Amino acid sequence: MNLIQAIRTIPDYPKKGIMFRDITTLLGDAEAFRHAVDALVDPFRNEGITKVAGIEARGFILGGAIAYHLKAGFVPLRKRGKLPGETYAVEYALEYGVDSMEMHRDALIEGERTMLIDDLIATGGTAMAAVDLLRRAGAEVVAAGFVIDLPELGGAQKVIDAGVPVSSLVTFAGH
């Protein structure tokens, strides 16, 4: 199946010059969604993954389905202030500002084999912040999966350089 055909491109969103890769069309196509989940699961099916961490918001949709297939628990990585209870937090740089994400302190047990999931990796800032957050909580981050990679921006390579194997399903040139 050609997943690129299931992904809508919206020019000049959220700002001029950006080609926004929208996976909501892929999620709405049952065959494409099933194919994407299976393709993200397959390389890591026998890695003993016990938790899947999904980055808000599309990482929740994909991560929940992947956790189900791996018979693993799910850990939401959310924007600051969205989780009740005690959390770990990390701030990270964006293209035009700073953001932060949090996870519950009790979401992981020391040494749990964890897979990180999101819809897209670009510069790697969000993914690297997530890896740092998971490691701070004691996770062994054994994999990261993304539907889309924008390789020219180098994010996947940053995650690989941090010792985390990366799987992505499609690549797009440019931003």
Q: Is 31 a catalytic residue?
A: no
Q: Of residues 21, 58, 78, 102, which has the active-site annotation? A: 58
Residue 28 burial by Cβ neighbours in a 10 Å radius (0-12, 13-18, 19+): exposed
- Distances 139 to 8, 54, 83 between C-alpha atoms, Å: 34, 14, 19
Residues 6 or more apart whose CB falls under 8 angstroms from that of 26 comprise 3, 6, 7, 32, 33, 36, 147
**Per-position b or e across 107-137, b if 16+ CB within 10 A of its CB:** bbeeebbbbbbbbbbbbbbbbbbbbbbbeeb
CA trace torsion 64, 121, 23, 114 (10° rounding): -10
Within 13 Å and on the Cβ side, how many CA atoms surround 46?
0
Q: Of residues 31, 47, 91, 95, which has the active-site annotation? A: 95
Q: Is 58 a catalytic residue?
A: yes
| Phi, psi at 132, each rounded to 5° | -60, -45
Question: What residues are annotated to the active site?
Answer: 58, 95
